[in-house]
Amino acid sequence: MKLKTLAVICSSLAFTGNVLAKTEVDFWYSGGVKPQKMMTKLIDEFNASQDEYQIKGALQGNYAETYQKLQAGMASRTAPEFVLLKAEQASAMSKRNLVRDMSVYMDDAFNFNDFLGAFRQQVTKANGEVYGLPAYGTTQVFYYNKQVLADHGFTADDLKTWQGVAKVSKAVRKTDANGNVSFYGWEPMWGKDNMIDAAFSNGAKVISDDGKTVMVDSKEWVEVWDGFRQWIHDDDVMRIHHGGQGWEYWYKTIDDVMKNRALGYTGSSGDQGDLDFTRLAATTQPGWGSNPSKPQAAAQIFVMPTGTDNKAAQGAFEFMRFYTNAKNTARWSMFTGYIPVRKSVEDVEEYQTYTKENPHALIPLQQAGFAQMNFFDPTNGKILDALAIAADQVQIENIPAEKALKQAAKRAQRALDRANRS
């Protein structure tokens, strides 16, 4: 009887050789080439470091595809134990109570307070629940050609305000024999984000403090956005690449600076892996006029969907603990250029050495230290969609900012009213 019982017990356990099989933990993520490589490496290292869990990473096409697939997975009860999402996607999941509260997995050794404030705030509810864990951060910073700037008698201090950037842009601008611009001063990245950051520096708000009124047509917005329109279209000292397939516009912008067709551009902290810092340097975003810079900083977020196996969910958090420790967030940042999530990264010896030799790597972290969290759109993206349309009108069509933003405000207000009624 005892032998039979023992046989039943043994047969009910899965063995691999002489080792009990690990609990499988499904993980969906996406990202560029370098993030893919580092994520694979960290998954392999975690799996080899312990005998309890096996992370099964599944690369998705992009964040939108990941999010759509996740909705279907939750409906069919085939969702993974954790997934990497954009901040707004994670927030939407939280509002629908579709994610686990991660605070219950955190102990004193985890030290959540060590995470950068701008990122920590993005995932913490008023009641203390933590609906996601910041994986890495991104913010848009300035990249510029050091020699070209110096040759024209300027320094990085001349790029501390947008008005200063315009002055420098006018001075370095060149034309060919036919009068066409052959060298631009600055290339803001296509879209609303750069201009939103600049508007925030000018004291702009997207919605009123009581959450009832859209304010994107205020004078603070109009002044900034029409400044960009003038620099792009009237003064012709800045240029916007737009359209194309996927990230084509982004790489055209980078190429102009790398191939000596523009002094500098505004781009992601994650661009650093594609840039030549023997010629380029980085600095934080400028302010508007005498106002301090107020850039946004966003985190890519790990979330744990509800309805998954509890044991596997614990394994998901153990991987996140491993992934976000100071040493690994430093490695991630050094390899990809994205922002590390912990303040204690500055105590990591390898990171200290790397940033001393590569000072540009500290700029995104420095900016994240005073950045604000990305605007949370209570209309499930409708306000930001309206601003995106207005940005195209200003940047591409040369429509006065006042007209474009008034149209955006009307469209956004209707969406906000519907959201407030629901």
How far apart CA 133 and CA 58 sit, in angstroms, is: 19
Q: pLDDT at residue 19 above 90?
A: no
**Which amino acid is it at 200?**
F
Q: What integer pLDDT is reported at residue 34 of this predicted model?
A: 87
pLDDT tens digits, 182-194: 999 999 999 999 9
Q: Which of 9-18, 36-45, 244-253 reaches the highest mean pLDDT?
A: 36-45
- Give the chain's count of helices (H) and strands (E): 16, 13
Does the pLDDT at position 340 exceed 50?
Answer: yes
| pLDDT in the model for residue 17 | 46
Q: Answer yes or no: are the C-beta atoms of 266 and 285 closer than 8 Å.
A: yes
Q: In terms of residues, how long is the chain?
A: 422
Q: What is the mean pLDDT of residues 172-188?
A: 96
Q: Which residue has the tokens 């803001």?
A: 188
Percent of the chain with pLDDT over 70: 95
Bridge partner residues of 399 (DSSP)? none
**Residue 97 identity:** N
* Rounded-to-10 torsion of CA 70, 71, 73, 76: 170
Mean of the per-residue pLDDT values for the chain? 92
Instruction: Please give the domain boundaries of the chain with CATH numbers for all domains.
Output: 17-138+298-373 (3.40.190.10), 140-294+377-421 (3.40.190.10)
- Tell me the pLDDT band of 16, cut-offs 50, 70 and 90: very low
Average pLDDT value for residue range 187-204: 97
Q: Could you read off the pLDDT of 380-405 as tens digits, one per residue?
A: 889 999 999 999 999 999 999 999 99
- Judged by average pLDDT, the poorest of 5-9, 169-173, 192-196 is 5-9
Distance CA 39, CA 84 (A): 11
pTM over 0.75: yes
Predicted local distance difference test score (pLDDT) of residue 15: 42
Which spans in 259-339 are helix H? 310-323, 326-336
- Please give the pLDDT value at position 83: 98
Q: Is the pLDDT of residue 14 over 50?
A: no
Residue 416 in this model has a pLDDT that exceeds 50: yes
Residues 347-364: tens digit of each pLDDT: 999 999 999 999 999 999
Angstrom distance (rounded) from CA 25 to CA 306: 14
pLDDT at 264 over 50: yes
- Give backbone dihedrals phi and psi of 339, rounded to 5 degrees, phi first: -80, 130
